[in-house]
Amino acid sequence: MNDLMELARKNEREAWSIVQELGIEQAWQDVGGKANLVGSLKCGLLMKHLDIDFHVYTDGLDVAKSFQAVAKIAAHPNVTRLTYSNLMDTDEHCLEWHLWYRVSEEREWQIDMIHILKGSEFDGVFEDVAERIFAALTPETRQTILRLKYETPDDEKIMGIAYYMAVLRDGVRSYEAFTKWREETHLDGIILWKP
């Protein structure tokens, strides 16, 4: 288990190094935004799925300014791909950015930046979720979540919130039990559960 904790710490150090190297927070600040870390890195639960999640808030959703911030970030030579979705006219009131940062041929990070209208329905929601998950963790549940993430096959994409719900809410402690839990628990769309 110490090996998994060390792997998690190693991934966290690399993630923070990438955030600093890309200047993510400053790029958004330069266009009047505030970038808040959410997700597994914020919760200290980063394992094999290399992803970094930010929710970015501005007073208005200006597509040009959003592109301006992302252009600074994506100019880095290690950024290999970028996708964009305009969801301004949905309940989510956001612009979605996903970029990929290549460390090596075998190691690539996905960075999700969701640009959200300040004051809209999801303003601050996932920050609260991350803080509540972090506060609810014990050494035993942290290790269990990291182990379940590690035991998940590389080709399976499972939302982090599924692990947290299974372990923290429903007491799942093995990958076999987690697989059964997933079969019995239908998770679709945006999951707003928090401990």
Residues 110 and 144 in one domain: no
- State which of 73, 94, 122 marks the end of a domain: 122
Question: What pLDDT, on a 0 to 100 scale, did the predictor assign at position 41?
Answer: 96
Whether residue 37 lies inside any domain: the answer is yes
Residues 9 and 99 in one domain: yes
Question: What pLDDT, on a 0 to 100 scale, did the predictor assign at position 91?
Answer: 80
What is the mean pLDDT for each group of 10 consecutive residues in the chain (195 residues)?
A: 89 97 98 97 95 96 97 98 95 93 96 94 93 96 97 93 97 97 89 91
List beta partners, residue 56: 35, 115
Whether residue 190 lies inside any domain: the answer is no
φ and ψ at residue 35, rounded to 5 degrees: -95, 120
pTM as predicted:
0.93
Q: Helix (H, G, I), strand (E, B), or coil: what is residue 24?
A: helix
Whether residue 192 lies inside any domain: the answer is no
Residues 110 and 156 in one domain: no
Whether residue 193 lies inside any domain: the answer is no
Residue 184 and residue 187: Cα distance in Å, rounded?
A: 10
Residues 6 and 77 in one domain: yes
Q: What is the DSSP string of 41-104?
A: HHHT---SS-EEEEEEEESS--HHHHHHHHHHHHTSTTEEEEEEEEETTSTT-EEEEEEEEEEE
Question: What pLDDT, on a 0 to 100 scale, did the predictor assign at position 6?
Answer: 94
Whether residue 191 lies inside any domain: the answer is no
- Provide the number of structural domains found in the chain: 2
Give residue 138's Cα distance to chain centre. 21
